[in-house]
Chain A
Amino acid sequence: MILFGYRLPGMSSLLVWGLLWEIVGQSGLTFFVPPLSEVTATLFSIIGTAAFQKALFETAYAFLVGVASAILIGIPVGILMGKSRLLDELLLPWVNVFLSAPLTALVPVLMVLFGFGMKSIIITTALFAIWIIILNSRAGVRQINRSLVEMAHSFGASPVDAFFKIYFWAALPEILGGVRIGIIRAVKGVIIGQLLISIVGFGALFELYSANFLMGHFWAVLIVLFALAFTISEFLAYLERRVAYYAAKR
């Protein structure tokens, strides 16, 4: 954006919103919104505490394991669905059901099945992420140019070669798009899981802060989570741009 002849760096608008936050906070309109300066101060003070670091570590762990399993299972399943009519007929209805299902409602069931701990949170995270990854990988494979498949076949590509050298790359732009959306959903999954189970990670912290009306702490943790989610999403968007050179020309 250009203002008064100066080129403003990206996300300058955040400054305006930050200022607004500070003003609302200072005015003492509601205890729910403490000034941004206070939140920032709290942020730095709690960031070094053992409770915060433990929460961060547990969340990161659940998130990474959950996302990794969603990706490692989701991409091959999606590609195979795109390739095989039979598998597609079998699985597609389920994928669509789970994609639109209110997964939050499933979390209590998962807790019964897998206990009140890390395992349930990891599975919740994976469940939030995996469906869109499957669906996008499938879509990526289905739009593949038939003549590329014929070409590989004519030069004697084995099914494994075709999978890794044709299907995967041809579907990569869609796959990355799916992974990005999947990861954003996984952020929701990991937090919702923790909130519902509320004895691990940030769930426990949130419980603690909101029960004691520590709004500064509450917002500080929220800012950290938003920033993390945003950074991850931007990184994936960057990867997507890396393959954009052929995405439009397949």
Chain B
Amino acid sequence: MAMSQIKEESAPAASAEFESAVSVKNITKNYGDVEALRDMSLEFPRGQLTSLLGPSGCGKTTLLKIIAGLLEPTSGTVEVGGKEVTDPGPDRAFVFQDFALLPWASVIRNVAFGLEMRGVAASEREAIAEKYIKDVGLAGFENAYPHELSGGMRQRVGLARALSVDADVLLMDEPFSAVDEQTRRKFQEDLLALVQNENKTFLFVTHSIEEAVYVSDQIAILLPRPSRVSEIIRPSSFRNKGVDNIRRDPEYLDIVDEIWASLRSYVE
């Protein structure tokens, strides 16, 4: 089978081939009595997209927020670009699961918010924001307010905001969960192009096995609470066959089946 699959034991050795943009080392996170993450270690290769896949409530958002510097781990460290981080920084941008848009601000002001916080002048940040609004397909809605948009459109505003600050690492918490299937497929293709063209590292949370396999260079399967990495899968052969052929590729289908087989036990 043309598939390089790395079980947990051999993961550190294999990831040594890559330069890690983000490395998570022995992270444990407790919320009071609830043990969300236990001794989790994971490497995120630079310039690649890593998906976190796991049952609901297994701690994916928690892990992403710890990497973002928004939550403090109970123990363990996070390194971004080789340096330990404990606070948010301009090297990372977050796409929130619940969008987190300012309800009193127009789309363009929302998208420009990150730039505004970085002290970019008004005219410049609006020009940048406009570009990304167009990129996510919201041209014409610059002056609309979040409550006038559908869920999927709001999600795209959050996406545009994260893209506009041009961070090295993008932390995306279910960024496509509220868009319709057609838009979702379009976004998946766009995301692949983005990963190809920009030298950014993507951390991507999703509930969809197909989506994870479709967009990822590396898939980390997480176990239910207390969460650890159960398996790391690196699809290898179909990435360069063109976006239209991926879903027909035998390796793609095999991996989807295999992930389903290993997650199925937790659903039943």
Contacts and interface: CB of A to CB of B under 8 A. Distances in A.
Interface in B105-120: 113-114, 116-118
A246 B145 CA distance: 9
B70 A156 contact: no
Nearest to B68: A154
B102 A154 contact: no
B65 interface: yes
A147 B98 contact: yes
A170 B70 CA distance: 20
B103 A151 contact: no
Nearest to A247: B103
A250 interface: yes
Interface string B138-151: 00000001110000
Nearest to B103: A246
Interface string B67-98: 01110000000000000000011101110101
A172 B98 CA distance: 22
Interface in A63-115: none
A172 B104 contact: yes
Contact of B104 (A152, A155, A246): A246
Interface in B157-187: 161, 165
Contacts of B116: 165
Contacts of B90: 156
Contact of B100 (A151, A156, A246): A151
Contacts, number: 58
Contact of B146 (A154, A157, A249): A249
A155 B113 contact: yes
A245 B117 contact: no
Contacts of A45: none
A151 B88 contact: no
A245 B145 CA distance: 9
From B70, B93, B102, B147, name the one whose CB has the most chain A CB atoms within 10 angstroms. Answer: B102
A165 B112 CA distance: 13
A150 interface: yes
Given A154-B68, A155-B165, A156-B90, A145 B100 contact: yes
B103 A155 contact: no
A148 B105 CA distance: 12
B97 to A, nearest CB: 8
Contact of B70 (A150, A161, A165, A249): A150
A166 B110 CA distance: 12
A147 B89 CA distance: 17
Contacts of A250: 103
A154 B88 contact: yes
A151 B96 contact: yes
A155 B102 contact: no
Nearest to B89: A156
A165 B115 CA distance: 13
Contacts of A54: none
B104 A156 contact: no
14 contacts: A148-B102, A150-B65, A153-B88, A154-B69, A154-B70, A155-B93, A155-B118, A156-B89, A156-B90, A156-B114, A156-B118, A169-B104, A170-B104, A249-B146
Given A147-B98, A151-B94, A155-B93, 4 more contacts: A156-B88, A156-B90, A246-B145, A249-B147
